[in-house]
Each structure stands twice: as C-alpha cells, then as structure tokens.
Amino acid sequence: MKESSIWHRLYHGETSYDFVGRRRWWFAFSGLVIAIGIVSLVAQGLNLGIDFKGGTAWEVKAPHLSVSAARDAVRPLGLAEAKIQTLGNGTVRVEAKHQTPAKQDQVSAALAKAGGTTAGKVSVNDVGPSWGKAVTSKAEKALIAFFIAITIYITARFEWKMAVAAILAVIHDILVTVGVYSVSRFEVTPATVVAFLTILGYSLYDTIVVFDRVEENTKGLSSSGRMTYADTVNLSMNQVLMRSINTSLVAILPIASVLGIGAYVLGATALKDFGLALLVGLITGAYSSIFVASPILAILKEREPRYSAIRARLVSKGAPAGPLTPAAAAAMAGTGPRAGARGDGELDDGGPPLVPGRPRTVPVHRPTRSGRPGPRPRKKGRRR
C-alpha cells in the first residue's frame, strides 16, 4: 500500500479534512434526499403492512404455485387486486382487505387446490385496524420518550447546544429512512419499527463519541483561544474519523450478510424486515454523525461572543493555515513523535499554536562560529 493512500493517512492521523467548511455541500445533499422523500410521502405514502392497516393474510407452502396461478385462484372470489408475493421456501402469501370468516375459508380452499395441498395447511392471519393503530401509538410514544431522554442526558453530560445538534441529526435520520421506505415501497412492519428505534440509539452513540472528543479538545488545544471552535470540531472529526469508519463497517457488514443470506437465500422474511431497516439506518446514522451533527454544533457555538471574538482576532492576524491533522495536534501538545525539535533551528514549546498550522516556537541556544557553545547567561547573585 502506498504511503499516500487514504487508508495510510487515516491510520497515521495525517488527514485534515475541513468538515465544517464544506457544510453547505453536506446540507444540500441531505436536503435533496429529504425533499425527495417528502414528495414521495405526499404522493404515495408508506407501504404499510397488514399489521398497521389491518386485513387478512393467507400463507400456503406450495413450491410449484406461482404468483400468477395464485391470483387466478383467488380472482373469482373478488380478490383480483390482492397483494401476492413469494416468501421463500416455496411459501406464497396473499394479503387483502378484511374478509368474513366464510370468505376466508373459501380463499383457503382455493389456494390449497391451486397449490396441491389441503386447506388445513393454509394459515390465516386476520388483523383488525385497531391493533395497527395501537402499534403506531406505542411507536410514537417510544420516539417521544427517546427524544426527551437524549435531550436530558446530553444537556447534563455536555450542554444544551450539543443536545440540539444531536436531536437534529436524529431527526435527519428519521426523515431519510422514512423517505427511503416511501420511495422504494418497502413494506413497513412491526419489525421495521423495532429496527428503526434501534438504529436511533446507534446514531446517537456515534454522535456522543464525536462530541466527547470535541469537548476534550476544547479544554485542551483551544482553551487558550488560539484556535476557532470550527477548527476544534474539524480536528476532533479527523481524530475519530477512522474509528467511526471502522465501527460503521463492523456494524453494517453483518447486517448486510443477514439481509442477503437470511432473507433472500434462506427465505426468512422476518430478517428482511428487520435487517433492511437496520442497514438503511446504520448508513444514515454514520453519515449524520459526521456531516450533520458536528457542523451544526460548530454553527451554534461560533455565535457565542467568546468564539466569535477568537475568530475575529485570528482573522485579523492572518488567515488560518487550515485544519490541523491529528498527528500535528499531538506534536504541538507534546505527546507526538514530532514534539520538540522542528528541524529548523527552533524548538516547539508544546503550547497551542497562535494560528492553526503554525506551531509556537522559542529560540534555541546556537553555537558560535568556532563550534564552541556561546557564553551562558550570567546568574544574579553574590560573587565569592
């Protein structure tokens, strides 16, 4: 692997991406995705499963029964518009509006005849609309309780502006995920809701990791007012970027395997409903923690008089050299391999830089032309 590759620079702390400076690009992309989802929601809504909208579902295990044959079997019973799909392992599922017990028996007999089996092997699931409304109400209450809990925790652990940034990132994840389900017409089931609430917690975890590093750097390198808050956020993001990528990949790859193998190879439809929501949510949560929550926090904090004054003072002294790399920040703090000699006859004193990218220096005692050390400064005191 070449030393200039992105993975080498990420691993060795040599990245200095300006996440805050490019926030308009991230916000524009997120806004476009959310707008597409909202238009789809208004135009066609969500593809709610039978558990939410109510109805009757029949399932029969008949490997040789095709979707078209099943539709021909139920068409004479007034179910020509029924939703019919294969679930894997030769199972055919038929969904329709709520039917009377007599009509349910007729449909079971028709499907059994078409599939070459008996009516007793056709399972029937009849769900009333009231049960779906109860599930929806419980999901809404759980979401509200989640928002209240994270607001209280982040405000107590950090500050209210970090809580606002985290909540906006979570709302971003909700809108994107709902929009993806609306555009793709994936079915929304109770398993989808459970997975959805699960990924909100993951998104919050990734955001907390970033905010914890931002708070640490605020008390460290930028505590003396020689670094803007946006530069502190950029530094923190570059420090945790490799960790965020690794944790996201570790979480996404198993879910993708479960979704691909379990749902589409083994035919486990419950895994499909759960895994699909997890996959979409994990990707969205990883994105929002990096490109949404942190820039929003920088915008809110830089409006404070302290940080706006720091920015004005640094700009008056000259434009900053750009975001620091984690390796350069470690060296300036006196903890990195390059702490100490700069190699140009001056010594880094380990203090924060006056301008990001320009380390503070103190003069080094130089030798005379003869090669001998110069005279040492006299110490005050009485002569013997």
- What distance in Å separates the CA atoms of residue 268 and residue 271, rounded to the nearest whole number? 6
Structural Rg of the chain based on CA atoms:
31
Q: What is the pLDDT of residue 4?
A: 62
- Stretches where the chain sits below pLDDT 50 are 1-2, 335-374, 379-384
Angle at 312 between CA 310 and CA 316, to 5 degrees: 115
CATH node for 14-47+131-305: 1.20.1640.10
CATH node for 55-127: 3.30.70.3400
Q: Where are the domains of the chain?
A: 14-47+131-305, 55-127
Reduce the DSSP state of residue 10 to 3 states and report it.
helix
- Residue 110 near residue 73, CB atoms below 8 Å: yes
Q: Where are the beta strands (DSSP E) in the chain?
A: 47-48, 55-61, 83-88, 91-96, 122-127, 187-188, 346-348, 361-363
Q: What is the pLDDT of residue 296?
A: 94
Q: What type of residue is 12? A: H
Q: What pTM value is reported for the model?
A: 0.73
Burial tier of 359 (Cβ tally within 10 Å: 0-12, 13-18, 19+): buried
Q: Residue 11: which residues within 8 A CB-CB, separation 6 or more?
A: 242
- Residue 87 near residue 267, CB atoms below 8 Å: yes
- Residue 54 near residue 127, CB atoms below 8 Å: yes
Q: What is the dihedral of CA 119, 120, 122, 125, to 10 degrees?
A: 120
Angle at 178 between CA 93 and CA 147, to 5 degrees: 120
Q: What is the pLDDT of residue 357?
A: 44
- Give me 68's structure tokens: 């078209």
Q: Residue 36: which residues within 8 A CB-CB, separation 6 or more?
A: 179, 183
- φ/ψ (deg, to 5) at 81: -95, 15
Q: What type of residue is 43? A: A
- Give me 352's structure tokens: 């924060």
Query: Which is nearest to 144 in space by CA: 199, 197, 190, 189?
Result: 197
- Residue 76 near residue 154, CB atoms below 8 Å: no
Q: What is the dihedral of CA 273, 277, 278, 283, to 10 degrees?
A: 150
Q: How far is CA 28 from CA 16, 22, 173, 206, 240, in A?
A: 22, 10, 15, 22, 24
Q: What is the pLDDT of residue 346?
A: 36
For residue 93, list its beta bridge partners.
59, 85
Q: What type of residue is 270? A: A
Q: DSSP assignment, residue 64?
A: T
- Residue 124 near residue 101, CB atoms below 8 Å: no
- What distance in Å separates the CA atoms of residue 129 and residue 265, rounded to the nearest whole number? 32
- Give me 339's structure tokens: 């702490």
- What distance in Å separates the CA atoms of residue 218 and residue 304, rounded to the nearest whole number? 14
Q: What is the pLDDT of residue 338?
A: 40
Q: Residue 148: which residues within 8 A CB-CB, separation 6 or more?
A: none
Per-residue b or e along 17-31, where b marks 16 or more CB atoms closer than 10 Å to that residue's CB: eebbeebeebeeebe
